[in-house]
């Protein structure tokens, strides 16, 4: 389905991000009074409800943009290490221009309480020229009309030449319904098959400057998000919709994660929170590792976040062109196999995750990562019948059951898969204490071999007779995750799949 696009534009601090959040009825964009908080195009698919119950809802894609002239306004021009953020102005304005050029409707937002400024007038002239070339309609929005007494001030926006403004307060929701009804009247109906909802969501996470935004741009084939040598350029969690081979998915680009004590202000704190929350929203996580640097404490913390949420994960070793064939401590060239062994030692818990070696700047390995993500997505939604699970567990216990110092024998009364994504298996047994964490890991590795869940986490709930789950609600069950580092001489862990784009497929 081709959704109508609505771009929200204007100078800094007029409430563009608050307006998007109001329309979406959730916190999509970070809101703060500091100029330059929003830098990229932040998009959300929103359902508009008509004024009459008989009217069908309309879907639209609303795009928040950075403030025009952001670093000419007073504010935080330099970051915490003295980098000049004005270098980003050109990239931010290029994002605004792209939004104007590709949108069906422009919402030009001004601050009713501040009045019309010189920057508003400058941007109105720029917008008039660009909108005319793109044949795009522009609607004025006077924001921060918190009460009736602000309405005469909002009417001054008519002087910018785009007609009578829609009045609203994104914070207090004053006149919100009027604005929604007016939007409903002018937004075109989406056309094409009903595929607006994406099939899969991929969260792209990692520490700063690991190449997350570059990876998204490689997928998009354009400068969809700003890439800069300035660390921390991305702040919002940015959803970018894609279609590949007839399948739709959303890639969530996130702010680079760093150690908590290094976070300089609340904006960066909110950005970090959005990054972690994107793991919850995602069906599959791409954990980006910078091949030119050692695995850091931040990388390991992200590993823990993924494990805690039972999310399918692909490890993306980015910037591989810069690391391949470097010499290790023994003077040997670094190969994908060497790096896989290194990751197995450093990233304990994710040793069953597929690994893809990429050079995002050259788009190498990117398509492989997406294809693998779809495979894991499908794995996590598989179901195994109760009869099949009973046979599998009977065979496992016959081969090797849990041991008890008192000679008590473990019995399984029934086993059933009760959920997908993550696949959740409930085991009813005579005594849950017989199933030690070590034996649970053994069970999970055997399950990975004999079920479709070879590379995705399995949540295993073991309940004794006349007992509830012996793990308290909310308690982390790391032993019940199939991404484990279990060393068993008799039964080796499943082989990790490694994708090396440097090899010729004909070999």
Q: Would residue 151 count as lying in a domain?
A: yes
The pLDDT value given to residue 38: 52
Q: Is the pLDDT of residue 245 over 90?
A: no
Q: Would residue 497 count as lying in a domain?
A: no
Q: State whether 274 and 369 are in the same domain.
A: yes
Average pLDDT over residues 222-234: 52
Q: What percent of the chain has pLDDT over 90?
A: 47
Q: State whether 350 and 392 are in the same domain.
A: no
Q: Is the pLDDT of residue 225 over 80?
A: no
Q: State whether 208 and 346 are in the same domain.
A: yes
Q: Would residue 429 count as lying in a domain?
A: yes
Q: State whether 364 and 429 are in the same domain.
A: no
130-153 confidence digits (pLDDT tens): 877 767 899 999 999 999 999 999
What CATH code is carried by the domain that includes residue 424? 3.30.300.20
Tokens found for residue 286: 């791409």
Q: Would residue 414 count as lying in a domain?
A: yes
The pLDDT value given to residue 70: 57
**Domain end among 358, 379, 400:** 379
Q: State whether 181 and 329 are in the same domain.
A: no
pLDDT band with cut points at 50, 70 and 90 for residue 191: low
Q: Would residue 420 count as lying in a domain?
A: yes
Q: Reduced to 3 states, what is the DSSP secondary structure of residue 427? A: strand
The C-alpha atoms of residue 286 and residue 494 are separated, in whole angstroms, by: 20
Q: State whether 289 and 432 are in the same domain.
A: no
The C-alpha atoms of residue 28 and residue 31 are separated, in whole angstroms, by: 9
Structurally, the chain folds into a number of domains equal to 3
Higher pLDDT, 287 or 326: 287
Instruction: Tell me which range, 184-188, 325-329, 418-422, 462-466, is most confidently predicted by mean pLDDT.
Output: 418-422
Contact 225, 213 (CB under 8 A): yes
Average pLDDT over residues 268-286: 83
The pLDDT value given to residue 456: 95
Tokens found for residue 447: 């399950």
Tokens found for residue 380: 């996590």
Residue whose token pair is 């070793």: 317
**Domain end among 137, 152, 186:** 186
Answer left, alpha or beta for residue 464, where phi above 0 means left and psi between -120 and 50 means alpha. Answer: beta
Average pLDDT over residues 345-365: 91
The C-alpha atoms of residue 385 and residue 380 are separated, in whole angstroms, by: 15
Containing domain of residue 58, as a range? 5-186
Q: State whether 374 and 433 are in the same domain.
A: no
Contact 6, 48 (CB under 8 A): no
The residues near 346 (Cβ < 8 Å, ≥ 6 apart) are 295, 299, 300
The pLDDT value given to residue 68: 79
427-457 confidence digits (pLDDT tens): 999 999 899 999 999 999 999 999 999 999 9
Q: State whether 250 and 311 are in the same domain.
A: yes
Give the least confident one: 68-72, 127-131, 363-367, 483-487: 483-487
Q: State whether 263 and 165 are in the same domain.
A: no
Q: Reduced to 3 states, what is the DSSP secondary structure of residue 496? A: coil
Tokens found for residue 249: 């998915």
The pLDDT value given to residue 164: 94
Q: Would residue 499 count as lying in a domain?
A: no
CA 317 to each of CA 211, 222, 285: distance values in angstroms, whole numbers, following the listed order: 10, 22, 13
Q: Would residue 495 count as lying in a domain?
A: no
pLDDT band with cut points at 50, 70 and 90 for residue 45: confident
Closest CA to 434 of 411, 415, 416: 411
**Domain end among 379, 405, 424:** 379
Closest CA to 420 of 371, 374, 373, 379: 379
Q: State whether 172 and 207 are in the same domain.
A: no
pTM: 0.72
Q: Would residue 475 count as lying in a domain?
A: yes
What CATH code is carried by the domain that includes residue 54? 3.40.50.300
């Amino acid at each position: 389905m081709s959704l109508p696009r609505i771009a929200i534009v204007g100078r800094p601090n007029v409430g563009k991000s608050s307006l998007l959040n109001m329309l979406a009825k959730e916190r999509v964009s970070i809101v703060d009074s500091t100029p330059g908080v929003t830098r990229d195009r932040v998009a959300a698919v929103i359902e508009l409800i008509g004024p009459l119950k008989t009217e069908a809802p309309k879907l639209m894609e609303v795009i928040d943009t950075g403030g025009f002239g952001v670093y000419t306004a007073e504010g935080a021009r330099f970051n915490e290490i003295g980098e000049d953020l004005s270098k980003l102005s050109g990239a931010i304005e290029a994002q605004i221009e792209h939004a104007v050029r590709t949108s069906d409707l422009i919402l030009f937002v001004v601050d009713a309480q501040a009045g019309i400024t010189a920057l508003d007038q400058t941007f109105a002239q720029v917008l008039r020229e660009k909108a005319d070339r793109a044949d795009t309609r522009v609607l004025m929005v006077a924001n921060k009309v918190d009460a009736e007494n602000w309405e005469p001030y909002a009417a001054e926006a008519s002087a910018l030449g785009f007609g009578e403004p829609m009045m609203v307060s994104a914070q207090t929701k004053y006149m919100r319904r009027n604005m929604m009804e007016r939007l409903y009247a002018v937004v075109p109906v989406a056309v094409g098959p009903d595929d607006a909802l994406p099939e899969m969501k991929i969260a792209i996470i990692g520490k700063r400057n690991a190449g997350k935004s570059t990876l998204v741009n490689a997928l998009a084939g354009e400068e969809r998000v700003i890439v800069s040598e300035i660390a921390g350029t991305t702040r919002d969690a940015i959803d970018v919709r894609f279609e590949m081979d007839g399948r739709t998915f959303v890639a969530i680009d996130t702010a680079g994660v760093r150690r908590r004590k290094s976070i300089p202000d609340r904006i960066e704190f909110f950005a970090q929170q959005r990054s972690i929350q994107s793991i919850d929203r995602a069906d599959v996580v791409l954990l980006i590792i910078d091949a030119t640097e050692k695995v850091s404490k931040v990388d390991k913390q992200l590993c823990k976040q993924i494990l805690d949420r039972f999310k399918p994960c692909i490890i993306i070793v980015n910037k591989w062109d810069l690391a391949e064939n470097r010499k290790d401590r023994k003077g040997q060239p670094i190969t994908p196999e060497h790096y896989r062994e290194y990751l197995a030692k450093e990233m304990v818990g994710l040793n069953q995750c597929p690994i893809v070696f990429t050079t995002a700047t050259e788009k190498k390995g990117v398509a492989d990562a997406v294809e693998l993500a779809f495979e894991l997505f499908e794995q996590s939604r598989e179901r195994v019948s109760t009869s099949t699970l009973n046979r599998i567990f009977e065979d496992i216990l016959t081969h090797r059951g849990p041991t008890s110092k008192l000679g008590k024998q473990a019995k399984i009364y029934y086993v059933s898969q009760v959920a997908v994504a993550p696949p959740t298996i409930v085991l009813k047994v005579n005594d849950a204490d017989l199933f030690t964490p070590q034996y649970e890991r053994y069970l999970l590795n055997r399950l990975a071999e004999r079920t479709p869940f070879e590379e995705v986490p399995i949540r295993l709930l073991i309940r004794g007779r006349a007992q509830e789950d012996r793990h308290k609600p909310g308690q982390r069950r790391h032993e019940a995750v199939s991404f484990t580092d279990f060393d068993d001489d008799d039964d080796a862990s499943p082989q990790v799949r490694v994708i090396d784009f440097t090899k010729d497929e004909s070999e």
